Structure 1
Amino acid sequence: MSVFTIEAGLAILGLALLLVEAFKPDISRRTLGLTAIAGAVLALVLFSFVPHDTASLPGFIQPWHQLDNLAIFYKGFSLVITILVLWLTLECAPYLSRFTVDGKLAEMFSLPLIVCSGMMWMASARDLVTVFVSLELVTVSFYVLVAFARKSSFSLEAGVKYLILGALSTGILVYGIAWTYGATGTMSFDGIAKALANPATSKTAALFGAAMLLCGLGFKVAAAPFHMWVPDVYQGAPTPVTAFLSVGSKAAGFVVLTRALDAFLAQGSVIATEVQALLLVVGSLTVLLGSLPAMFQTSVKRLLAYSSISHAGYLLLALASRESARFDLSSGGIVAFYLATYLPMTVLGFLGLGLMRANGLGEEIKDFTGLAKRNPFIALLMTISFASLAGLPLTAGFLGKLFVFIGLADHGYWGALSCAVIAAAAGFYYYFKTILAMYTTEGTDVPVLTFSTAAKSVAGALALAILILGVYPKPLQGVLTSAPVVSSVSR
């Protein structure tokens, strides 16, 4: 058995669940959900034991697939977020089924498995063709997931917007790939790095191709100015799908960005200076255009959407900073560390939001009023989530931002650092505004909310992970520095 077998098995399981539900419509959604979760958990267990080297892959896939440290990390990351999203979907199933035509949720359990396969293939891509095929597998599946709640006008609107803008970004991405191929004569990341190190390569053509390619990927990771779809799509999509978009889709986009930038910014590249400057400008704009509008949001879901944009900006600034000798981490390593800390705090936030919707509450900040009296335990866990997203010390979110800030300072990027600090300060305002509402009870009716033991256990585990990573991050940092977290492109 190889890693590729596990990835293919997940996709086959997803298709099988769709067929089972189609030919046996009376099967319970709980059976489908538990089967999907069991399959993803089994894949994670098997992934831990199979060989993690390219030689173990089938011969026909070896030229297009790589298993370096970066790929291994993101494959594990994809499996973990998929398991959490499937469980959240099962937990919110009674609420979600009210917005479907027939009450069925088969696609909500099968498509995340197919998305996971696409994200895992994307993490190992050696060339732009493999990136494109894997990316479209993920994106097309998300088109269906975003518009899944067909009785909700918000979900249908979100699906149409995501489809139209997604198709546009795909066209830009393909155009960038074509120009990059025309300028370098290759689509492999290794070949692009070598071609760009050759002074004979047309700088204008290469720079235009790189710009178009980064624009296409910028849509996928919600980078400014390609971020305007995020608030409406995140608000309209079912909560588990929003969580998947915020964490899983972002991670998939950034692993591709990491590999592309390793090629564009390789030693001797004729476009390195321009690409790095572009990253700094886009990253600075993204953190500001994510954080500042979030201060005026009244919907927690839209607030988290703008927050997701801001976090994408921090990740772009990390990529622009490149290596930091202080932490012994490459730019890809800092991005991986940031995403690893981003996963538990974001999923915990959407978990709390989803459970509240399942209890009949809305998504406005006012709906969080008195949550500490309704359910003190959930309020405490949500507080930990939002405090970590804001970057409060002794939480995982603080260290992720700290790595980015110090990396910018070490390289003297003071303008970008100023933008990042302003965005972080704004984050404290809008996150703690929600926390304050949870502990306000004056003049409100506070009926008791009930959550399952499983929900409390998963939420508690996520909160514990946030605190442990915030106090003792060395194990995670050790995983990311045990081998260079870079692509096979030589610097």
Structure 2
Amino acid sequence: MSVFTIEAGLAFLGLVLLLVEAFKPDICRRTLGLMAIAGTALALVLFVFAKHDTASLPGFMQPWHQLDTLALFYKGFALVITILVLWLTLECAPYLTRFTVDGKLAEMFSLPLIVCAGMMWMASARDLVTVFVSLELVTVSFYVLVAFARKSAFSLEAGVKYLILGALSTGVLVYGIAWIYGATGTMSFDGIAKALANPATNKTAALFGAAILLCGLGFKVAAAPFHMWVPDVYQGAPTPVTAFLSVGSKAAGFVVLTRALDAFLVENSIIGTEIQSLLLVAGSLTALLGSLPAMFQTSVKRLLAYSSISHAGYLLLALACRESPRFDLSSGGVVAFYLATYLPMTVLGFLGLGLMRANGLGEDIKDFAGLAKRNPLLALLMTVSFASLAGLPLTAGFLGKLFVFLGLADHGYWGALSCAIIAAATGFYYYFKTVLAMFTTEGTDAPALKLSSATRAVAGLLAVAILVLGVYPKPLQKLLKPASATMAARN
């Protein structure tokens, strides 16, 4: 079975689940959720044992798809985050149904499968047309998911904002693609790389097109100055959707950025210096503009939204560093490593937030007061999550930031490194402000919170992954090393 067949099957399953709910409206939402999880888990198993070479793809897809190490990593990443988001949706179902018109959650279980298929196709894209089609499949699905809680004014407001700004960013992206095509005569990444290495290519047109394209992608990854939509959209969207946006959508945007920048920053590129400088400035501003406002947030959900912006800044700085001989990883490999560490700690944080909401509590820091007394295990797990997000040593988040900081130091980007360190230091304040609230004596008279055995198991596995990656990252580094070799050979 080819990888493309698995991806198409996953999208087809999403459509089937929608039809099942439409023609059998009395079906249990838990049954739909478990069917979606089982289907995605089966896709993950089949993906692991499928043939991972381009020759295994259908003939009509071979010119447009690639199955290098980076593509395979992001495909597996998309499947894992989709399974976790579907599980989180099941856990939050009692809370979510109160904000839907008919109490149904079919779209919350089916659309993530379509989003997953879009992210997997995006990871293999060889050209800008495939990128655009896959990206819009993901984005349009998110328009529905963000505004899904139709009885919530916050959700509807978030949906409208995301729709308007998303449509604007799509227009900018298409405009950039048009300029790139006009300057280089091609839309394939390999063709663009060859054209930009040719001194005869019009530098002004190519640079303008690349800058516009990066602006369009900047919205997708929440890079400054295109990040202002994030706090409102994250706060208004249902918690599982927020987690999906924070991890899945960000990963999809960065795999496209990695592909594009590999072409723009090819050896002897006529626009390489300018694009690298743009990345350093954008990454530094994004890290700071994500961390500094987070210090003043009282809502944990908005705090995590600003945190997501800050992490996008670190990832942009990693892309600016290009090769990192110290770790034997390309810039794309460092980004993939960072996202692999970002997944468990972010999902664990949103899982804790979703469980709080499912138990009738709010999203403000004050609602976390005394959590250690009401449920010590949940407080401990969220402490692990927030400690890793802050970058505490012996956690996965520490190594992700360390790779970025050492890459900046190795290349002598001291200004960007200073901004990144300030942003990281600020993170310790706002993350541990929430942790401190959980261990205060206030709110200890509130009723205890109960977690199911399955929830404890999933949350425990995420916490273990955070700690294991924090002390033993070698297997993950080894998994991503071939990406460097492949990229170097192509460049």
TM class by smaller structure: over 0.9
Secondary structure of the 2:484 match is: coil
Cα distance in 2 for partners of 1:434, 1:442 equals 13
Matches within 5 A, 1:257-296: 257-296=257-296
- Identify the residue that residue 173 of structure 1 maps to in structure 2: 173
- Give the secondary structure class of the aligned counterpart of 1:122: helix
Structure 2 matches for 1:259-338, cutoff 5 A? Answer: 259-338=259-338
Structure 2 Cα separation of the partners of residues 269 and 473 of structure 1: 33
1:113-262 correspondence to structure 2 within 5 Å: 113-262=113-262
Q: Measured at CA, do residues 280 and 83 of structure 1 come closer, stay the same or move farther in structure 2, by a change above 3 Å?
A: same
CA–CA separation in structure 2 for the residues paired with 1:412 and 1:484: 21
Does 1:344 find its partner at 2:344? yes
CA-to-partner distance for each residue in 1:25-62, whole Å, 9 max, x for gaps? 11110110000000000000000001000000000000
Aligned to 2:79: 79
What do the CA deviations read for 1:354-391 (whole angstroms, capped 9, x no partner)? Answer: 00100000000000000000000010000000000000
CA contact under 8 A between 1:70 and 1:486: conserved in structure 2? no
What amino acid maps onto 1:178 in structure 2? A
Deviations 1:391-444 (A, max 9, x none): 000000000000000000000000000000000000000000000000001465
Q: Alpha carbons of 1:486 and 1:223: their partners in 2 closer, same or farther (altered >3 Å)?
A: farther
For 1:248 and 1:12, the matched residues in 2 are separated by 20
* Letter of the 2:183 counterpart: A
- C-alpha contact 2:333 2:483 (8 A) present in aligned 1: no
- Going from structure 1 to structure 2, the CA distance change for 1:416 and 1:486 (only over 3 Å counts) comes to farther
Structure 1 range deviating more: 435-444 or 306-315: 435-444
After superposition, give the CA deviation of every residue in 1:284-313 in whole Å (9 maximum; x if it has no partner).
000000000000000000000000000000
Deviation at 1:481, TM superposition (A): 1.0
Q: Distance in 1 between matches of 2:48 and 2:482?
A: 16
**Residues 348 and 463 in structure 1, CA contact (< 8 A), matched pair in contact too:** yes
- Indicate the larger mover: 276-285 or 474-483: 474-483
Taking the aligned partners of 1:483 and 1:74, their CA distance within structure 2 comes to: 12
Contact 1:68–1:488, Cα closer than 8 Å, also in 2: no
For residue 445 of structure 1, report the CA deviation from its aligned partner.
2.9
| Structure 1 residues 478 and 305: CA distance shift in structure 2, 3 A | same
Distance 1:486 1:300 in 2: 41
* Aligned residues of 2:330 and 2:483 also touching (Cα < 8 A): no
Q: 1:40 & 1:488 partners in 2: Cα distance?
A: 33
1:375 aligns with 2:383: no
5+ residue gaps in structure 1?
Answer: none
Give the distance between the partners of 1:301 and 1:97, measured in 2 at CA. 20
What amino acid does structure 2 have at the position aligned with 1:265? L
CA contact (8 A) 2:374 2:444 kept: no
The normalised TM-score by structure 2 is 0.99
The SS at the match of 2:199 is coil
Residue 391 of structure 1 aligns with which residue?
391
1:432-471 per-position Cα deviation (integer Å, ceiling 9, x unaligned): 0000000001465332111111111100110000000001
1:3–1:52 CA contact under 8 A, matched in 2:
yes
Alignment partners' CA distance in 1, 2:48 and 2:118: 19
Cα separation, 1, equivalents of 2:476 and 2:197? 34
SS of 1:81's equivalent? helix
**8 Å Cα contact 2:89/2:108 also seen in 1:** yes
Which segments of 5 or more consecutive residues in structure 2 lack a partner in the other structure?
A: none
State the 1:315 CA deviation. 0.1
